[in-house]
């Protein structure tokens, strides 16, 4: 049953831990991801992919996105790309392109910086749980001066599993000694909703992010919010 934030008596600070997705939730990253993917495709002689197509591949980590792009460009399957002799070389080139592009065309969504600052000042623990690999996550956060904004950052390659496995959320609950009913996940995709459900915590979503081309309301989050300022204590 959905967690009803309006009738649950959780006190002045409804959540002790708020966990955020990154791409499409806190930062619009799709334009520079597309630049890096297309830098790579062009370098290896393949046709570029469209911005919309690349945006719709976001969600399972940047490595998986690159695999999808190569599968389309070479008219083969994702498994064939993973098993190809050249993939490691292409992935290394992509890494250089993406690290160079990080911060070039990404931007924080409205209210993000002010909301994170206010939540932290209110004593709420903040975590980032993203499927983006650690070296790219750190580069994006640093480019936007968010590298000190979180009490914990769990990336796609931090643990042996990634979202929708609940291990990232559970690891944060354990680290901060927070019960599931005192934690909230904030994301933009059905992967985020499934991750929160798997961990047994509430989930609110932003409608402006990346949900693999599907309407986010269809994944039945507890709330759809206009921007992250809905998380501020006065808004609960």
**60 near ligand PGA (CB under 6 A):** yes
Q: Which is nearer to ligand PGA, 22 or 178 (CB)?
A: 22
The number of residues in the chain equals: 236
Among 17, 65, 149, 206, binds ligand PGA (CB under 6 A): 65
**23 near ligand PGA (CB under 6 A):** yes
- Spell out the alpha helix ranges (H) of 76-233: 78-82, 87-101, 112-121, 134-143, 167-176, 190-199
Min dist CB 210 to ligand PGA, Å, is: 7
Say whether 147 counts as a known binding-site residue. Answer: no
Distance CA 102, CA 193 (A): 26
| Residue 165 falls in the annotated catalytic set | no
CB atoms within 10 A of CB 107: 13
**56 near ligand PGA (CB under 6 A):** no
Distance CA 228, CA 231 (A): 6
Say whether 188 counts as a known binding-site residue. Answer: yes
**21 near ligand PGA (CB under 6 A):** yes
From 80-88, 114-122, 130-138, 220-228, give the range in contact with ligand PGA by CB under 6 A: 130-138
Burial class (CB in 10 A: 0-12, 13-18, 19+), 216: buried
**59 near ligand PGA (CB under 6 A):** yes
Q: Are 66 and 53 in contact (CB under 8 A)?
A: no
Q: Are 223 and 5 in contact (CB under 8 A)?
A: yes
Annotated binding site for Mg(2+): 21, 23, 188
Residues annotated as catalytic (active site), given as ranges: 21
Q: Which residues bind ligand PGA (CB under 6 A)?
A: 21-24, 58-62, 65, 130-132
């Amino acid at each position: 049953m959905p967690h009803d934030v309006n009738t649950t008596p959780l006190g002045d600070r409804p959540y002790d831990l708020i966990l955020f997705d990154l791409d499409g939730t806190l930062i619009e990253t799709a334009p520079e991801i597309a630049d890096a993917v297309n830098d790579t495709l062009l370098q290896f002689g393949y046709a570029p992919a469209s911005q919309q197509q690349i945006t719709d591949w976001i969600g399972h980590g940047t490595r998986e996105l690159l695999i999808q792009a190569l599968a389309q460009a070479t008219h083969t399957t994702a498994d064939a790309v993973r098993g190809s002799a050249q993939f490691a070389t292409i992935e290394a080139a992509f890494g250089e392109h993406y690290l160079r592009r990080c911060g070039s065309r990404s931007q924080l969504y409205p209210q993000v910086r002010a909301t994170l600052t206010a939540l932290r000042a209110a004593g709420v623990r903040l975590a980032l749980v993203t499927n983006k690999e650690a070296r790219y996550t750190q580069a994006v956060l640093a480019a936007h001066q968010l590298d000190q904004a979180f009490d914990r950052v769990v990336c796609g390659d931090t643990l042996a599993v990634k979202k929708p496995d609940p291990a990232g959320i559970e690891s944060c609950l354990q680290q901060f000694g927070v019960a599931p009913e005192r934690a909230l996940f904030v994301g933009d995709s059905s992967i985020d909703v499934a991750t929160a459900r798997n961990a047994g915590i509430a989930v609110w979503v932003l409608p402006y992010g990346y949900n693999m081309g599907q309407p986010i309301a269809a994944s039945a989050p507890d709330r759809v919010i206009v921007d992250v300022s809905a998380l501020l204590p006065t808004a609960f």
